[in-house]
Amino acid sequence: NIPEKQWAMVIEKTGGPVEYKEIPVAKPGPDEVLVNIKYSGVCHTDLHAVNGDWPIPTKLPLVGGHEGAGVVVARGELVKDVEIGDHAGIKWLNGSCLACSFCQASDEMLCPKALLSGYTVDGTFQQYAIGKAAHVARIPKDVPLDAVSPVLCAGITVYKGLKESGAVPGQTVAIVGAGGGLGSLACQYAKAMGLQVIGIDTGAEKEKMVKEELGATAFVDFATSKNVVKDVQAATADGTGPHAVLLVAVNEKPFQQAAEYVRPRGTVVAIGLPAGAFLKAPVFETVIGMKTIKGSYVGNRKDTGEALDFFRRGLIKAPFKTIGMSELQKVYDLMHEGKIAGRYVVDTSK
């Protein structure tokens, strides 16, 4: 009972518009599964893809989306370890070669042949999406598909970023963009990992959410603070700054500021991908403070399983709002204005 046609959100050209359309349901290849997507989170990456913000072009026409959670309805003849009826997630890394030196080292996100959902292959803003069986996320059946969908990109990415930061329980991490999709999950993963959180973002709604719902111990409003560097350092116990900084904002400024307020020996992890942006750091303070600056990009299959397990154990509760998939443009508009506290999740049946 897999239909021939389905509803999807499609862009024909870079810049949009994104249109609600009936398109054919694809058939899975030998090593692929077809997932009936129930819910898909909307990541700022989807908006970057529409806008053509990055140096790599997308496929066109394009079905965006890469936080898709649903039920496996078909599989190719080579697929043995995913069953029809299993709950599965299609994430940013749709597939990789599994043979190159990066794949061999479990760094499959660095695979030169990586397939990217909602970017180089069609993604999850459709009712039936294709994923390589080796890479679909295994979602436990007792987990709600709407609430778990943002874990499939935002959750995996911030969990990996926190591991890459080297911060250990008891230490302090600053989350820059704490009120957004990645940021709200970062606050929750950080807390679950035993870290103290300083949230940096703007506005009363995000401040309330970050402090009261997400468990941050301090909040710095980047728009009203007279000196973000001083305010972030002042929010740490000894005033020397956070041990780690996770940059998940879509704005160049904090990428040029974080190395100033991170603690000596501390690590700045760049995750957000503002268009055309550059990192900057004062050489003197970076050297004499022995500071580390690095990038972090989604996560591997092991990180995926671990991030999902934190969620299954009830450690991750980040606010989300659900909206019909046909209203995706509204979500993009709010996202563009920076007005989303937490994540939007689209319901593919509407």
Question: Which of the 8 DSSP states describes residue 215?
Answer: -
For position 338 contacting ligand 8ID by CB under 6 A, the verdict is yes
For position 18 contacting ligand 8ID by CB under 6 A, the verdict is no
For position 249 contacting ligand 8ID by CB under 6 A, the verdict is yes
Structure tokens that stand for 279 in this block: 């990192």
For position 280 contacting ligand 8ID by CB under 6 A, the verdict is no
Count CB neighbours of 101 within 10 A.
10
Count CB neighbours of 3 within 10 A.
11
Give dist(CA 9, CA 269) in Å, integer.
33
- CB 132 within 8 Å of CB 60: no
Structure tokens that stand for 2 in this block: 């897999």
Part in contact with ligand 8ID (CB under 6 A); list of ranges 42-50, 114-122, 125-133, 166-174: 42-50
For position 97 contacting Zn ion by CB under 5 A, the verdict is yes
At closest approach, how far in Å is the CB of 66 from ligand 8ID? 9
Give dist(CA 294, CA 313) in Å, integer.
30
Of the pair 103, 250, the CB lying nearest ligand 8ID is at 250
Part in contact with Zn ion (CB under 5 A); list of ranges 20-28, 130-138, 150-158, 311-319: 150-158
**The only residue of 182, 216, 318, 345 in contact with ligand 8ID, by rule CB under 6 A:** 182
At closest approach, how far in Å is the CB of 33 from ligand 8ID? 23
Binding to ligand 8ID, residues 102-121 (CB under 6 A): none
**The only residue of 50, 82, 103, 218 in contact with Zn ion, by rule CB under 5 A:** 103
Instruction: Calculate ∠ Cα 60-147-118, nearest 5°.
Output: 10
Give dist(CA 16, CA 19) in Å, integer.
8
List beta partners, residue 131: 33
**CA-wise closest residue to 153 among 89, 93, 90, 67:** 67
Part in contact with Zn ion (CB under 5 A); list of ranges 20-28, 82-90, 93-101, 232-240: 93-101
Instruction: Calculate ∠ Cα 250-254-259, nearest 5°.
Output: 140
Where along the sequence are the contacts to ligand 8ID (CB under 6 A)? Answer: 43-45, 48, 153, 157, 176-177, 179-183, 200-202, 222, 248-251, 253-254, 271-274, 296-298, 335, 338, 340
Residues that bind Zn ion (CB under 5 A): 43, 45, 96-97, 100, 103, 111, 153
